[in-house]
Amino acid sequence: MTKRTPIIAGNWKMHNTLAESAALVEALKKADNKNHAEIIVAPSFTSLAKVAELAKGSALQVCAQDIHWEDKGAFTSAVSPVQAKDAGATHTILGHSERRSVFGDTDEILNKKVAAALRHGLTIIFCVGETLAQREANETIAVIDAQLENGLKGYTAEQLKGLIIAYEPVWAIGTGKTATPAQAQEVHAAIRQFLAGKYGEDFAQATRILYGGSVKDTNVDEIMAQPDVDGALVGGQALIAEKFTRIINFN
């Protein structure tokens, strides 16, 4: 089995002033990292440049929470991949369930955003996941396969090298509910199977698949023990240095 370096990513969502962001980064720069994980933080756009500046020379990598598919233009309130990269981002989250459900990002829109990220060398954290209704209808794997198929359409394994997938069951985001370790493993294994069929076994084995959905310091150990779970995309507890540090140092 391929040894994959774990990734612990913190999505700060619409939280933190500049001062709060700076304080959190300074605390995380001092965090132990016994698992030699890649640590990624995704601040709001207002804090992106400040966080990137403070993270320089540390183990922290900086991620945009989203990007627009065009490099510039009349798109009020949007942030282009050029701007995100200029502010210091090396990664971008695409397809987070809140972007899909609240802001209407479709698979077609996400496919254009994938193109923009690849064009500018931003590493993509591509999010997939099902709603509670879809899970109860036994549609989980079909829904996720379609999100991957349509969102990544038109790209080769070589072009997508370095891609990170995040599985976030929509019913477990911000609800306090978490997929059981067995449920997470089942879906992660299915995602890897999809990647193997589409892009080859080597690509599938090299791709890190993160679990996101109410990851906490109290459940991270069991989640990370699953063979196809390569890391976590953390929401609420990413804002608390002590909790996030504990997640980084999962057992």
Q: Enumerate the active-site residues.
A: 96, 168
Cα 172 to the center of its chain, rounded Å: 15
User: In sequence order, what E strands does the chain have?
Assistant: 7-11, 38-42, 60-64, 91-94, 123-128, 164-167, 208-211, 231-234
Nearest-angstrom CA–CA distance, 170 and 33 = 29
Nearest-angstrom CA–CA distance, 4 and 108 = 30
Which positions ≥6 away from 224 have C-beta within 8 Å?
6, 231, 232, 250
Nearest-angstrom CA–CA distance, 21 and 46 = 10
Count of other CB atoms within 10 angstroms of residue 169: 27
Integer angstrom CA distances of residue 250 from 35, 103, 219: 8, 33, 9
Q: Which two tokens stand for residue 84?
A: 């995100």
Q: Tell me the one-letter amino acid at 193.
A: Q
Count of other CB atoms within 10 angstroms of residue 37: 21
Q: Which two tokens stand for residue 81?
A: 């991949």
